[in-house]
Amino acid sequence: MANEIADSTPVVAARRAPHYPGTRVVAFVLLAAFAVVAPFVLTEYWIKAIAIPTIIFGLSAFGLNLVTGYAGLISMGQAAFMALGAFTAVIAYGRFGLPLPLAIMLSGAVAALVGVIVGTPSLRIKGLYLMVATLASQFIIIWALQRVPWTGSGSFATLNAPPVRIAGWDVSTPTDKYFLVLAVVALMTFFGYNLVRSRVGRAWMALREHDVAASVMGVSMLQYKLMAFLVSSFYAGVAGALVVFGHTGAASVQEYELDVSIKILGMIIVGGLGSVLGSYLGAAFIMLLPILLAILMQKAAAAIGGTPAAVDTLANAEHVVFGALVLYFLIKEPKGLAELWHRLAAWVDSKVYSFNGAQTGGKK
């Protein structure tokens, strides 16, 4: 009886539908194919200003999701770790001549080292107090970068990166930079996806649900909490290096202020806490939000015969809508866009199975 009930559920039945791999698999294949051909079908503006930064911030959001969504440790310093990675990348590659792959890895390593130091208070405090501690690290790291002579010093500390080359590959065009960023992000996403499905990921989720009970069961809070900050900061550092090599061509402290950390936190809230897919869905949604708002406001102004919205009006509207979206997802849909996607995929699977069942006369 139990087996019959289990077999009759739409999702399980859909997976058994003949000649249908599943909505999630189809969507993944289509997305991967689009990612490969995107530079050849999108304009240069969309590649440089939308696609590349979306992928980079998706990686940084994924890193934050590891420590916040999976391990349950709130961090407000992700932008500062990106800044560490950005400046380390320029110094390692531009001044010391390290090969680009090593410079990117070193960027992550430096950010990870500082991340472990920042995450040490998590062994004693959590919740609001930990959030304040990581928030303090955001200001301390940016302040330090503004006063280290190697970074140019001052409130506008900026370092320009030299032309990017990997062996004989001159990474100069938007398409070249896009594929560089895509390759690094794909590799790190694959690694992170397997990590959260491993023993480490299960330990993080146990700490998130109840750290004391997890500790009693043998999960080391010292090891896994610090590991969460280490991996999360490493991802942020690599994302910062990709900002330099694949997007802006320079490292500047002004690009990594507190509002960037808040935006990255908003990405994982909107996309879905504890979800690999949610990190990238949230990044895409938040990065596309200003464009969608501008289009809607311009159309609304044209419809009522008013003047187009000013730049500062659009900026303020973006902040208001961003805050409203974060509140909405926290209250109404805490699992974010990832959960909405899973529901849609399950619904499509059930419809496909129903159609296939009708075509085959209900035979398995």
State the pLDDT at residue 363. Answer: 53
Give the mean pLDDT of 34-61.
Answer: 94
State the pLDDT at residue 85. Answer: 96
Structurally, how many domains does the chain consist of?
A: 1
Strand 164-166 and strand 169-171: the pairing is: antiparallel
State the pLDDT at residue 17. Answer: 46
> Residues of 141-158 as b/e, b for ≥16 C-beta within 10 angstroms?
bbeebbeeeebbeeeebb
Out of 42-46, 220-224, 234-238, give the one with best mean pLDDT: 234-238
In a domain, 76, yes or no: yes
Condensed to tens digits (0 to 9), the pLDDT of residues 342-356 reads: 999 999 888 887 766
Rounded Cα distance, 44 and 19, in Å: 39
Quote the domain boundaries for residue 333: 18-359
- Residue 304 belongs to a domain with what CATH number? 1.10.3470
In a domain, 12, yes or no: no
State the pLDDT at residue 178. Answer: 96
Rounded Cα distance, 129 and 270, in Å: 23
Q: Are 17 and 352 in contact (CB under 8 A)?
A: yes
Give the mean pLDDT of 111-125.
Answer: 92
Q: pLDDT above 90 covers what percent of the chain? A: 56
What token pair was written down for 324? 């409203």
Q: Hunting for tokens 């209250």 — which residue is that?
A: 331
State the pLDDT at residue 82. Answer: 97
Q: Average pLDDT over the chain, rounded to whole?
A: 87
In a domain, 11, yes or no: no
Residue in 20, 46, 78, 3 with CA at minimum distance from that of residue 269: 78
- Long-range contacts formed by 241-244: CB under 8 A, 24+ apart: 241/85, 241/86, 241/88, 241/89, 241/103, 241/104, 241/107, 241/108, 242/56, 242/59, 242/104, 242/180, 242/181, 242/184, 242/185, 243/53, 243/56, 243/82, 243/86, 244/86, 244/89, 244/90, 244/161
Q: Are 98 and 92 in contact (CB under 8 A)?
A: yes
In a domain, 142, yes or no: yes
Tell me: pLDDT of 202 over 70.
Answer: yes
In a domain, 13, yes or no: no
Tell me: pLDDT of 14 over 70.
Answer: no
Going by pLDDT thresholds of 50, 70 and 90, the confidence category of residue 11 is very low
In a domain, 333, yes or no: yes
State the pLDDT at residue 30. Answer: 92
Grouping H, G, I as helix, E, B as strand and the rest as coil, residue 251 is: strand
Residue in 110, 119, 18, 142 with CA at minimum distance from that of residue 72: 119
pTM score, two decimals? 0.89
In a domain, 3, yes or no: no
Lowest mean pLDDT among 50-64, 169-183, 275-289, 292-306: 292-306
Give the mean pLDDT of 235-240.
Answer: 97
Rounded Cα distance, 219 and 225, in Å: 10
Residues in the chain: 364
In a domain, 227, yes or no: yes
Which class for 247: exposed (0-12), middle (13-18), buried (19 or more C-beta within 10 A)?
buried
